[in-house]
Structures are given as structure tokens and as C-alpha cells.
Amino acid sequence: MDEETEQIDKALTSLAAFDLLPQKTKVDTVSPLASSIIGRNPKESIAWGKSEIIVRATLEQVLAFVWQIDSRARRKSNDLEKTMIEVNSLHHNIAYFCKKGNRGGFVKISPRDGLSSFVWQRQDNDTIIISGAPTDHKDKPVVSGRVRGKFPFTVKLERQFDKCKLTYCFSWDMNGLIPHVIIDHYTKQGLQLTEFVQQYFQQLRPLDKLDEQDGVAMAEAFLLKYSKKDKHEI
């Protein structure tokens, strides 16, 4: 078995392992179109999250968007760094990322970084698996001021006619350095990737292709925009 296939097999195993966690809690999502759950084994310090959503785009379009982690469209305000360290092939690369810390409030959190081996593989004509596995690289050693964590994830893309079902499952372990309540907060934030992808492609839908399902998605996005505005003004 080659290294890439082995990584994909481990990703599928972790996806199945989520369903076996003894503690799982459905969480509120920013968009009601997404379904998100956080989970944990009380005997471990690892936090898990899983989110699902339907995206109005083709399987291949969603693959391209998720794969290009350093694209401008994928940048967020809490990103300190996103860098492609090594490109081994069209379906295997190594990437580094770092998220801002939190110096406000009673809990001080240093920037969190990670180094991952990214692999994607087509299972059949209608299913693609993307895996991110913790790795090491000489160009990105652990440095002071940044807490190196392990963030393995699995993305499952399933074709549904002209749409794509996106399932995102990840876990992360900060080695007990951060309280569970803070871990859960950041896990919920991480699960918003599915909503981000859905909203990105919804905005690209041409007018002559809009249907009733688009109307529902656009209404949700409209309400979401103003709920955020109201919250900010309060």
C-alpha cells in the first residue's frame, strides 16, 4: 500500500470513528442549512467536530475550492499564515497554517499552528476523499510563541446530480494546554468551513439557474447578514 492510499484509509477510519464517540452534541450553526456536531471521548484530550451541508456546485468545483487552501477566497481575518510548503503531485502537498491567538479576556491563548500532509483521492465517479494528516517539515520547525497542534481532518464529497454533499470531520489535540470549553468554542468555529463553502458557491449562481432551493439559501444568507449586523450594533 502506498503512502497516499494509507493516509486516505486512515481518514475514512477516522470518519467512521466519529460516530462511535460516547459523547456527541449537536451545536447551533450560523446557517440552518448546515448540520454540525461536536464530540469527545472523556478519557482523551482530543476534540472532534463534524459538519454536513449541500453545496450548489459540482463535485469537481467543490474539490478545487477546498483543495486551494492558500487562495484569496479562503483567507480569513484570523489567519496569520497559510503557506504551501511542498507540492509533491497534483493530489498531494504539504501546507502550513497559523491562526491568531487571543490576548483579551481571562484566558490567554497563543497563536496555534499546524503542518499537514494533504491528499485527495477519487473513490468512484461520485465520491472524493480529501485528507489532512499532521506531519513535519524542515522548513517549518516548531517555534516559540506559537503552539503546534495536531489537526487531522477528512472531507468527503459526494455528487448529487448538479449538487455536492460536503462532509467535514476533524479532530485536534492541544495536549491539554487549553480548557475544554475553549476547545469546544474553536471547534464550532472550525466547523463553519462547510457553511463558508456553501455561501461562496451560492453567490456564484447565475440568475437564469436560480430555483426554489436557491431562494431558500439566499433568504438564509440575507437573514444571516442582518443578524450579524444587529449583533454587532448591540
The answer to whether residue 209 scores a pLDDT higher than 70 is no
Torsion angle of the four alpha carbons 52, 56, 58, 63, in this order, in degrees rounded to the nearest 10:
-50
Quickly tell me which residue has 472550525 as its cell: 190
CA 83 to chain centre: 16
% of the chain exceeding 90 in pLDDT: 57
Domain ranges of the chain: 3-233
Residue 95, Cβ neighbours under 10 Å: how many?
A: 21
- Give the pLDDT confidence of 20-36 residue by residue, as tens digits: 999 999 999 888 889 99
CA distance 214 to 211: 5
C-alpha cell at 102: 487571543
Q: Which DSSP helix (H) or strand (E) runs through 205?
A: none
Cell triple for 62: 467543490
Q: Which amino acid is at 69?
A: I
Q: Is pLDDT at 217 greater than 80 in this prediction?
A: no
Per CATH, which fold does 3-233 belong to?
A: Alpha-D-Glucose-1,6-Bisphosphate; Chain A, domain 4 (3.30.530)
Q: Of 115, 110, 105, which Cα lies nearest the Cα of 178?
A: 110
**Which residue in 164, 168, 174, 176 sits closest to 49, CA to CA?**
168
Return the amino acid letter for 1. M
What is the DSSP code (8-state) at residue 13? H
Residue 22 sits at φ, ψ, to 5 deg, of: -70, -25
Query: What are the CA-CA distances from residue 174 to residues 91, 110, 147 (Å)?
Result: 28, 11, 8
pLDDT tens-digit map of 149-181: 889 999 999 999 889 999 999 998 766 566 777
What cell numbers appear for 1 in the block? 500500500
Residue 194's pLDDT band, with cuts at 50, 70 and 90, is very high
pLDDT band at 148 (very low <50, low <70, confident <90, very high): confident
Q: What is the pLDDT of residues 49-58, one digit of tens each?
A: 999 999 999 9
The confidence score (pLDDT) of residue 174 equals 61
User: 202 vs 167, which has greater pLDDT?
Assistant: 167
